[in-house]
Structure 1
Amino acid sequence: MTRGRPVTVPATGRAGAGALVLRNARLPGSDDLVDVRIDDGVITHLGYLDPESPSGPRGVPGEPIEVVDLGERWLIPGLWDNHVHFTQWAQTARRLDVSGAASAVHAAAFVAARIAARATFTPAGDTLIGYGFRDALWADAPTRAVLDAASASALGPIPVVLVSGDLHSCWLNSAALARYGLPEHPTGLLRETDAFRVAQLLDTVADEVVDGWVDDAARAAAARGVVGVVDMEMTWNLDVWRRRIAAGTTCLRVEFGVYSQHLQRAVDRGLRGGALIDGTGGLLTVGPFKVITDGSLNTRTAYCLDAYPGLTGAAAHGQLNVEPAELLPLLRLAAGVGMRAAVHAIGDHANRLALDAFELLAADGEAPGMALRHSIEHAQLLSDDDVHRFARLGIVASVQPEHALDDRDVADRLWAGRTERAFPLASLIAAGVELAFGSDAPVAPLDPWVAMAAAVGRSRDGDDPWHPEQSVPRQAALAASARGRHRVSVGDVADLAVCEIDPLVASVADLRRMPVAATLLAGRFTHRAL
């Protein structure tokens, strides 16, 4: 091994606990060994440090220094998940998993088995909550009657709510429809606004209980190299995360999204996009303005230029949740307080309309305008022209590569003849568009390595790659999971991860399972298995 050339910058001051030196690190794409010094949470030296004087050129006699030998492991920028629903992700492990159901009857059989086992119905009292069904390819239809038959019990009616894998629909039996205010609903299958409302009503667990689950999920994320998340939970997240951080959930940075129903509240409270929230140790930041303009592919509500096979009438092209005349004023209001927009758009028509709105916003000449680095969330189906509009307008494509593998069979059926422009990651990169990877957890696991593997390999479980021409290089995948960085540098905040395999040469299988030895947040270990 060779030693890297040293680079040093002045530190802003000494941390009370002293400096941290990471010895014998390797950087991605290189076998050179480097030592890294961290002061006040910032990398101040990168290169060789004399073992007899680990303080390096900034040394102060007698200062406390912790030295950690990385054992020639790879040091990378800390990872971000740029789109999560954190409370729902934390609850998922406590819910009935019906993701393996191949039909409505099969899903109902999971419910019947859970009731027969007399298991606890958490996390909403006596309501049995399941998650993960994907009905787009089912031969039979989800109906309240099917769930009613499965949930019949000598104990009386048991409310059952199954949340779809894409979060855009809920399937309820008659007892649940009555409980949640929709007793006359004909099918029990709710979509979009009705589904979101019921999903929010399910969050009835005591704060201290769900916060404990969230802390567990945050620690699990840190163990995968995650240093930060953008939380898109559909609630007023400021107070929620203040409470959690005060209680000790301090292993992640959190940027919280603000939805349309809370935007004026944020404006009235003087919140500005990107501002740190006092009293949270620099961990909580005002995140994006989030607006959901269309639905999803599996729910057949993603708003598309072409009709879905077999559908006619007003719903044939999907569902537009926010009309263009509503969207632009919301974007202007958010931009006026420095809040970048994160616009959910999945279908090609929804993406076109979102880009139209951003183009009008850019034409306003308002400040701060397009400098806010607005994003479109998901961007699953795009025309070639709109790929280039992303680049021209400077819109970030905030995408979830694992969704391509979850949805490939559904896309082949519902977007037949158009899948060469579905999840077009390589096309976006070639056009000069910035990518930001996420999971949309619980839709996919909160694990950036899973996203990177999906983006690079376009396959899993031994399947042939799906549209391999849209696979991306490993370096681009790492950068999309690390806020644009693929390598650490002097002057960086020391949000870092240490992994056992070089991510720039790892196989797709190794990327997906990547062992992470340590994670640091501003030079503080949040996960350590060294």
Structure 2
Amino acid sequence: MGSIALVNGTIYTSFSPFRKSGGVLIYNGLYKIIGNNDKIINFAKKEKIEIVDLKNKFVIPGFIDAHMHLDELGEFIKGINLKEINSINQLCNYISREKDKFKTWIFGHGWDQEKFIEKRWPNHHDIDNCSSDKPLFFSRIDLHSALINQNAINILKNINQKLYGIEKFPDGSPTGIIKEEAFEELRKVLRESRNIDEQKEILELAQNELFANGVTSIGFMSVDEKTLTSLMELMSENKLKIRISAYLKPEIMKKSREIKNNDILAIKGIKLFADGSFGSRTALLSYPYDDDPTNHGYEAMSKEDLLENCMRAKELNLKTAIHAIGDKGIDNVIWVYERCGKRNRIEHASLIRDDQFPKIAKIEPFVVVQPHFIISDYWIINRVGKERSTWVYPFKTLINYGINVAFSTDSPVEPINPFFTIDSAVNRGKNQNIELFKYTQHETFSILEAYNAYTNNSSLAIDRNDIGKIEIGKKGDLIILDKDPMEDYFYNKVLITIINGDIVYKSPDQDLIH
């Protein structure tokens, strides 16, 4: 727990209500003095605490990403970045360039068939010749589908050929596209090939990326046993600095009894799935997809199974977070929480009918949304049609019903940079000419609403009421920025990140602390 004094700056201490000051002092990890520079300087000199002249720079509470995947972000950093690919032909170029750095599996993330000039999904024939003798796993941007090569198809055949989500050619042979159940099973095999030290390396890579982007706390979703062990080892080695609220995979929820929560790592709940994603056409809808009229999506778990897991978690004093993107998936979640209890979480809630808002309000959930989906899902009107497009990503309507809306990136699905998320919430793709803006501009957030959702509201969603604002007695988590976040946010830069009064990141070109 560190101590530091910051003076001569603009410090946004809270976004709801809106408050700011000129200085702040963190003492033994907690906010001790706010506002009076002379009082701060006198106390700091007496206690021999470092005094930082902010030189008119700007400070806000650390960003809290309420739903992301620390392990998958690390895999994305270590793997092959496919987010900029716009052609199937480019896949082999990327594989050939980087395949030798992989020991066992070749893996990468981020492709989106909607961007491909070929206007089709890739298949294993597109990559078999360039992926040599190693199995390959390329996750789609939504983390609900993957492209695999023939070697990986052979591995999957040995697991279970009847899993949901193994796409087939007309002759019945696998195409190399896997979704949902098949995706999860093969990804599990990939991860089991990795030892604990490799897993710890991946987690540290992700942690460092979060610090560089001003993220000080996270809701870490779908934590498996190997990752939980890795986090505990990093904690014992004093290498885990990011504040984590962990949501376990349901099969290991009883592990929560064996682990004592602390200031940095706390098990807060479990993560379940009601459906899939729009990108893979597996989000569960009441009416079929406009661009796939025979398809209503995928029910990942029945509402009875969701309820059973929710009740088991409740007995362990854990909250439940349920992924639900389509409106039918949300119907199932409402049914579950009407029986399991209030103050649980709904993840994504991407398409909500008008009749569902009052029902959601009654169960008082935390709804954790990803505003940057608006940018990535630029094709969404093709999926759901113009009439239903007014139901998509209804952030403002949710808060108008008194529902706590928290922000996140679902990283590595979306960029971890919080300012991209802020822009998406405030402008809803207007600057990127996203067609959805025409139908949903009434759902835009004000700048204060956006920052509040990313700080205080997210702190409540991850069950941490000791962070999210710069207030006396709360944890000393903040970031120093080079520009005013109220005016110039899209290209803002994080200069310094502080957690518990300790500096965990300094930009190489900052001139405040040496």
TM-score tier by shorter-chain length is: 0.7 to 0.9
Paired residue secondary structure (2:175): coil
CA contact (8 A) 1:152 1:158 kept: no
Aligned counterparts, 1:19-38, within 5 A: 19-28=3-12, 34-38=22-26
Aligned counterparts, 1:278-297, within 5 A: 282-297=263-278
Query: Corresponding residue for 1:54?
Result: 41
Aligned counterparts, 1:145-294, within 5 A: 147-152=124-129, 157-181=133-157, 185-203=173-191, 204-236=193-225, 237-263=227-253, 265-266=254-255, 269=257, 276-277=261-262, 282-294=263-275
Change (3 A) 1:252 1:112: same
CA contact (8 A) 2:128 2:150 kept: no
Change (3 A) 1:49 1:186: closer
- Write the distance in 2 (CA, Å) between the matches of 1:156 and 1:395: 48
Query: Corresponding residue for 1:67?
Result: 51
Unmatched runs of 5 consecutive residues or more in structure 1: 1-14, 363-369
Aligned counterparts, 1:430-445, within 5 A: 430-445=400-415
Q: 2:211 is aligned with what amino acid?
A: A
Counting aligned pairs with the same residue, the percent is: 22
Query: Corresponding residue for 1:325?
Result: 304
CA contact (8 A) 1:347 1:380 kept: yes
Paired residue secondary structure (2:50): strand
Paired residue secondary structure (1:43): strand
Query: Corresponding residue for 2:322?
Result: 343
CA contact (8 A) 1:142 1:187 kept: no
Residue 142 of structure 1, aligned match among 114, 118, 121: 121
Q: 1:304 is aligned with what amino acid?
A: L
Paired residue secondary structure (1:188): strand
Q: Post-superposition shift, 1:136?
A: 5.5
Change (3 A) 1:135 1:289: same
- Deviations, residues 388-414 of structure 1 (Å, cap 9, x unaligned): 322222111101111111012134434
CA contact (8 A) 1:124 1:202 kept: no
CA contact (8 A) 2:222 2:271 kept: no
Change (3 A) 1:246 1:411: farther
- Write the distance in 1 (CA, Å) between the matches of 2:372 and 2:126: 34
Q: Post-superposition shift, 1:245?
A: 2.6
Change (3 A) 1:487 1:128: closer
Q: Post-superposition shift, 1:162?
A: 2.0
- Deviations, residues 294-318 of structure 1 (Å, cap 9, x unaligned): 01101111000011135465xx110
Query: Corresponding residue for 1:97?
Result: 81
CA contact (8 A) 2:32 2:473 kept: yes
- Write the distance in 2 (CA, Å) between the matches of 1:292 and 1:187: 25
Q: Post-superposition shift, 1:129?
A: 2.4
- Write the distance in 2 (CA, Å) between the matches of 1:128 and 1:460: 37
- Write the distance in 1 (CA, Å) between the matches of 2:359 and 2:453: 19
Q: Post-superposition shift, 1:189?
A: 1.5
- Write the distance in 2 (CA, Å) between the matches of 1:258 and 1:25: 40
Are 1:84 and 2:68 matched, yes or no?
yes
Are 1:113 and 2:113 matched, yes or no?
no
Paired residue secondary structure (1:55): helix
Q: Post-superposition shift, 1:123?
A: 4.4
Paired residue secondary structure (1:401): coil
- Write the distance in 1 (CA, Å) between the matches of 2:213 and 2:84: 25
Aligned counterparts, 1:385-464, within 5 A: 385-459=355-429, 462-463=432-433
**TM-score relative to the length of structure 2:** 0.85
Q: 2:451 is aligned with what amino acid?
A: L
CA contact (8 A) 1:437 1:448 kept: no
Q: Post-superposition shift, 1:166?
A: 0.5
- Write the distance in 2 (CA, Å) between the matches of 1:188 and 1:433: 41
Paired residue secondary structure (2:421): helix
- Write the distance in 1 (CA, Å) between the matches of 2:42 and 2:63: 28
CA contact (8 A) 1:131 1:165 kept: yes
Q: Post-superposition shift, 1:473?
A: 0.9
- Write the distance in 2 (CA, Å) between the matches of 1:44 and 1:345: 41
Change (3 A) 1:25 1:137: closer
- Write the distance in 1 (CA, Å) between the matches of 2:426 and 2:82: 28
Change (3 A) 1:397 1:124: farther
Query: Corresponding residue for 1:12?
Result: none
Residue 511 of structure 1, aligned match among 478, 489, 509: 489
Count of equivalent residues: 477
Q: 2:230 is aligned with what amino acid?
A: V
Are 1:130 and 2:108 matched, yes or no?
yes
Change (3 A) 1:38 1:157: closer
Which structure carries more helix by proportion?
2
Change (3 A) 1:518 1:181: same
Query: Corresponding residue for 2:475?
Result: 493
- Write the distance in 2 (CA, Å) between the matches of 1:179 and 1:320: 25
- Write the distance in 1 (CA, Å) between the matches of 2:150 and 2:301: 30
Q: Post-superposition shift, 1:39?
A: 1.8
**TM-score relative to the length of structure 1:** 0.82
Please say which of residues 393-402 and 196-205 is displaced more in the overlay: 196-205
- Write the distance in 1 (CA, Å) between the matches of 2:443 and 2:126: 45
- Write the distance in 2 (CA, Å) between the matches of 1:307 and 1:136: 19
Paired residue secondary structure (1:387): helix
CA contact (8 A) 1:161 1:176 kept: yes
Paired residue secondary structure (1:238): helix
Q: Post-superposition shift, 1:423?
A: 0.5
Q: Post-superposition shift, 1:342?
A: 0.6
Change (3 A) 1:335 1:152: same
- Deviations, residues 359-413 of structure 1 (Å, cap 9, x unaligned): 1223xxxxxxx2xx31100100001222232222211110111111101213443
Paired residue secondary structure (1:327): helix
Larger radius of gyration: 1
Change (3 A) 1:495 1:115: closer
Q: Post-superposition shift, 1:32?
A: 7.0
